[in-house]
Amino acid sequence: MIPKHRSSSWLISLALLLMVATPAFAEPQLPDFTELVDKAAPAVVNISTTRDVERRMTSSRQFGGQEVPEIFRHFFGDRFPMPHGGAPDHGEEPRRSLGSGFIFDENGYIMTNAHVVKDADKILVLLNDRRELEAELVGADEKSDVAVLKVEANNLPTLDLGESTDLKVGQWVAAIGSPFGFDHSVTSGIISAINRTLPQDVYVPFIQTDVAINPGNSGGPLFNLDGEVVGINSQILTRSGGYMGLSFAIPIDVAMDVATQLREDGYVSRGWLGVSIQPVSKDLAESFGMEQAEGALIAELEPSGPAADSGLQAGDVILEVNGQEVDHSTTLPRLVGETAPGEDVELSILRDGQNETITVEVGEWPNVGPNQSAGDPLRLGIAVQPLSDMEKRRLGIDNGVRIARVDPTGHAAAAGIRPGDVLVSIGQQPIESPEQLKEMLTNLPDDQTLPVLLNREGRAYFVAMRLGNDG
């Protein structure tokens, strides 16, 4: 028989031994990213761009220059002008920016952010082996912020692509990029949330992480622990211009769908309903007899759009799209945008307190595809697309066409015009349609300077544009 005091000591010793030996009490191990980095780094690239802009102080303030960053900003949207101390207000000034990207096809195809290469006159790609190659822009889609580049090289290292639909909140991820120009910097963290919708970016279900991302990381890959790309780092939430704990990545499934369309068609096709929507507030939900605030409230319809043709009405609340819940109004554009034009979708709606189901044949969001551009690129260096009645009402204008592409060497670019501007009039003649614009340009004499009225983000602005017959 063991004495009582010895029994107690023996039990304590045994308990301590079990605590040391039992894996359940072992300290958790943090992930080791060394193998991931060794394998992935060769396919991650640094991207630098230059853009020659007219040095004119008024244009700098109105058309770019050193803009005040917004809370939600593309984190390399700022330009960095080269110093020109004492130079006159006119002339050309190179502006440079840096970003990241990765090779996804061994024949030289590279993915990055659209905002990294926006308006670039020259794009250079620095490979991991220190080769510097000039890249061609295959295509860019601003709505998803995805761009595809092509360099003349073969047998390049590539990255493995994962499935962003398999991601879970809390899992580890890592980023490789070039923050502030420091090539192949590695940062890590966890996924904070998935399917985040950001203001003005309603077509992307962003991956939110706490991975440290800074200017220059734009377009770089986000990896899971298996070394697979699950996202493209795109945005940060910041009040200072630098990392503040929130970063957002484009899911790789979304990015690859966009990249495929850009390579095959040169543009991205999206579904379109032709409705103007607003959130359902708590008070509105109560007035509609809803138990909770959810869905997208139709405020206005395009008269000839798919929604109007299918019988949807202003005041309807869209609750589901093909069985997928519309938990907030910002969810609807993404669900519809993912639908191929021409396909039918079943919309579950609330109308006059009753639930109904309406089938709508989805239309195509106005894009600039091979047969959708108009205008005279040899004359102005632009391609345009028509404006819907809703867009005109939103901008407070009666007429105009939206500028979809600008030739950086053309007359329009020299005047400070850029994609997204609305061309309202030329020489006091209103622009009603792409066809009318083309006819007008045909009849205008050469070697003439005319006032051009633009609408940029709801603001009117005049520029002088010189016409010519030399392109």
Which residue numbers are catalytic?
115, 145, 218
Report the relative pairing of strands 459-466 and 449-456 from DSSP bridges: antiparallel
First to last CA, the chain: 106
CA distances from 443 to 6, 108, 402, 438 (A): 109, 44, 21, 9
Are 208 and 190 in contact, with CB atoms under 8 Å apart? no
- DSSP-derived letter for residue 300 is E
CB-facing half-sphere around the CA of 33: CA atoms within 13 A: 17
Helix (H, G, I), strand (E, B) or coil at 51: strand
- Going by C-alpha positions, the residue among 141, 154, 159, 237 that lies closest to residue 198 is 237
Contacts of 349 (CB under 8 A, 6+ apart): 312, 316, 317, 318, 319, 355, 356, 357, 358
User: To which H or E segment does residue 219 belong?
Assistant: none
Report the relative pairing of strands 229-237 and 185-198 from DSSP bridges: unpaired
Beta strands in 309-441 (DSSP E): 317-321, 324-325, 344-351, 354-361, 363-364, 382-386, 401-406, 422-426, 429-430
Burial 294-318 (b: 16+ CB within 10 A, else e): bbbbbebbbeebbbbebebeeebbb
**What does the DSSP assignment read for 259-274?**
HHHHHHHSS---EE--
Cα–Cα–Cα angle for 61, 136, 152, nearest 5°? Answer: 150
Report the distance separating Cα 213 and Cα 191, nearest Å.
Answer: 13
- Going by C-alpha positions, the residue among 151, 101, 127, 165 that lies closest to residue 42 is 127
Alpha helices in 185-322 (DSSP H): 252-265, 282-287, 306-309
Please give the structure tokens belonging to residue 440. Answer: 């007008």
